[in-house]
Structure 1
Amino acid sequence: MIATLSHPGPASARRWAAAPCHAQPIEVTLPVADTLAQSAALALAGFDGGWIEIRDETLANLDFVIPGPDPTGAHAAWYAGPHRMGAGRIDHLGMHVGLKDGAPWIHGHGAFDAPGWRGPGFGHILPHESRLARPIRARGWGIRGARLAVAADPETHFPLFQPADLGGGGGAALITTRPNQDMGAAIAAAAAAVGITRGRILGLGSLVHPRLQGQAPIDSYATEILLTQGFLDKGLARIEAEVVTLDATLHKGWLTPGENGVCITAEVLVLAS
């Protein structure tokens, strides 16, 4: 049984979207630019998009948010912040690189260390407010044949990444999921629809009252998560994730299958094996 959240708009009949793509392992240099989003896009020149992982690197400016209520009532969940930390360090960060209104955009979740924050920080990094202190090396996957592009979502009233099929993809897939369904089951169903039943899962998302194996239920109707491990085998997904709650507490563990409802979205890259 999953926990659910009531959203302000009509629920679409199709509960996931998938676009096949080619994914190439990469090691790149992110140059210093006006924004972290621009740095990521420059590093992926020649690709349609990508998934980048950064570890143990410094930022000139670190701004992020964590889950929070929407004081206007226009959304089922919103953000707390922004937390403007000045210079900081990324412990680890995973981010999708795509487009918003034709310009570079990222969606990244991860752990941060910044002076003045109340302990270890984890959350959603802000793409235009955050900036590198120096060029850094990062690893990930460059994508061709599909990309993530932001579009208005009538159900949640959020602008969300959605996969666009650019043609000629294969061996991997960009997948997004809708709210109020088990995250793992939705990812597995979307991957199967494009012919992938075994592989790795990389990405991020949000959950309602997550259930982690061997742990007490997490009392937070909105959370942000980063997948730390993800596997697809015989059409079943196993996912380990880091989680930050409404009160900024951190959790990590394997998602209990069938008991983790999507809050707003999940955005993943599935690599066939």
Structure 2
Amino acid sequence: MITPITHPGPAPSKRWAVATCAAMPIDIILPVAETLAQSVALGLAGFDGGWLVIENADLANLDFVIPGEDTTGTHAAWYAGPYRMGAGRIDHLGLHAGRKDGAAWLHGHGTFSARDWLGPAMGHILPLESRLSKPIRAKGWGLKGARLDVAHDPETNFPLFQPVTTGTKTGAALITLRPNQDMTTAIATAASEAGIRNGRLYGLGSLTCPQLQGQPQIDSHATEILLTEGRLTKGTAEIEVEIVTLNGTLHKGWLEPGANGVCVTAELLVIADL
């Protein structure tokens, strides 16, 4: 069973959103710009959005946050930080590129390092505070026919990515999941709405007290996660994740089916098998 979490706003009956799209494999160079968000947008010029993976890349400035408590009661969880690495390094980062208030935006989770760094090693990268020191390589998927746009979510009281349709394309789908539903089950259900029962899964999100296969349950009511492997096979999702907790500890493993409730959101790209 999942561990539930109470959010401040009303919970809509529809617990996911789906927009179909076309996804093209890409291997691009991100140029130096004023912010990481702008660098990603320039690299994805010509696409509506995208999912990118960056590995082994030095940044001029790397700022990030980890899950934290919200003592005000206006959110079920908040952020701790920001942690400022200065000239830090992206070891492995996965990110969704989209739009916020009409401008370039991204949501990325990853692992980071820096010389003599003693703080957390994984978190949510800050797209306007972080910036490149030189052009870097990114691989992933460029999307046409849909993208993620930030909108205020009354249930969680957060600004969250939501999929929007920009054309008529198929072969892939952008999916977002609402809180308090098992992640693996919800992904499979939402993907079936897009006509996908077999495919690859990419994305990130947050879980409440995650349960990894063969490991003790993680005692952290808010966590940030990054998918490191994901498959949808005959309507069943199998997902491996990296996790950072409220106290900054890291975990990795395969999600136990039926036992991993979404905390705030999950944002997925599902690419159908040909």
Whether the TM-score (by the shorter chain) exceeds 0.5 is yes
The DSSP-based 3-state class of the residue aligned with 2:73 is coil
Code of the aligned partner of 2:226: L
Per-residue CA shift, 1:156-212, capped at 9, x if unaligned?
000000000112110000000000000111111110001000000000000000000
Specify the alignment match of 1:173 in structure 2.
173
Q: Is the 8 A contact 2:22 2:169 kept in 1?
A: yes
Shift of 1:271: 0.4
Per-residue CA shift, 1:80-106, capped at 9, x if unaligned?
001111111100000000000000000
Shift of 1:12: 0.6
TM normalised by structure 1 equals 0.99
Code of the aligned partner of 1:243: I
Note if 1:249 corresponds to 2:249: yes
Code of the aligned partner of 1:44: L
Code of the aligned partner of 1:35: T
Q: Is the 8 A contact 1:114 1:121 kept in 2?
A: no
Specify the alignment match of 2:88 in structure 1.
88
Specify the alignment match of 1:225 in structure 2.
225
Per-residue CA shift, 1:236-273, capped at 9, x if unaligned?
10000000000000000000001000000000100000
Note if 1:78 corresponds to 2:83: no
Identify the range of structure 1 (114-123 vs 124-133) with the bigger mean alpha-carbon deviation.
114-123
The DSSP-based 3-state class of the residue aligned with 2:34 is coil
Code of the aligned partner of 2:105: W
CA distance in structure 2 between the aligned counterparts of 1:188 and 1:30, rounded to whole angstroms: 33
The DSSP-based 3-state class of the residue aligned with 1:188 is helix
The DSSP-based 3-state class of the residue aligned with 1:185 is helix
CA distance in structure 2 between the aligned counterparts of 1:102 and 1:241, rounded to whole angstroms: 31
Q: Which runs of 5+ in 2 are unaligned?
A: none
CA distance in structure 2 between the aligned counterparts of 1:114 and 1:72, rounded to whole angstroms: 33
Alignment map for 1:1-273 (pairs within 5 Å):
1-118=1-118, 121-273=121-273
Q: Is the 8 A contact 1:176 1:265 kept in 2?
A: yes
CA distance in structure 2 between the aligned counterparts of 1:195 and 1:104, rounded to whole angstroms: 29
CA distance in structure 2 between the aligned counterparts of 1:145 and 1:246, rounded to whole angstroms: 36
Identify the range of structure 1 (106-115 vs 141-150) with the bigger mean alpha-carbon deviation.
106-115
TM normalised by structure 2 equals 0.98
CA distance in structure 1 between the aligned counterparts of 2:116 and 2:63, rounded to whole angstroms: 13
**Residues 116 and 72 from structure 1, CA distance in 2 versus in 1: closer, same or farther, beyond 3 angstroms?**
farther
The DSSP-based 3-state class of the residue aligned with 1:184 is helix
Shift of 1:118: 2.1
Shift of 1:117: 3.1
CA distance in structure 2 between the aligned counterparts of 1:135 and 1:71, rounded to whole angstroms: 40
Shift of 1:114: 2.0
Number of residue-to-residue matches in the alignment: 273
Q: Is the 8 A contact 1:85 1:116 kept in 2?
A: no
The DSSP-based 3-state class of the residue aligned with 2:40 is helix
The DSSP-based 3-state class of the residue aligned with 1:93 is strand
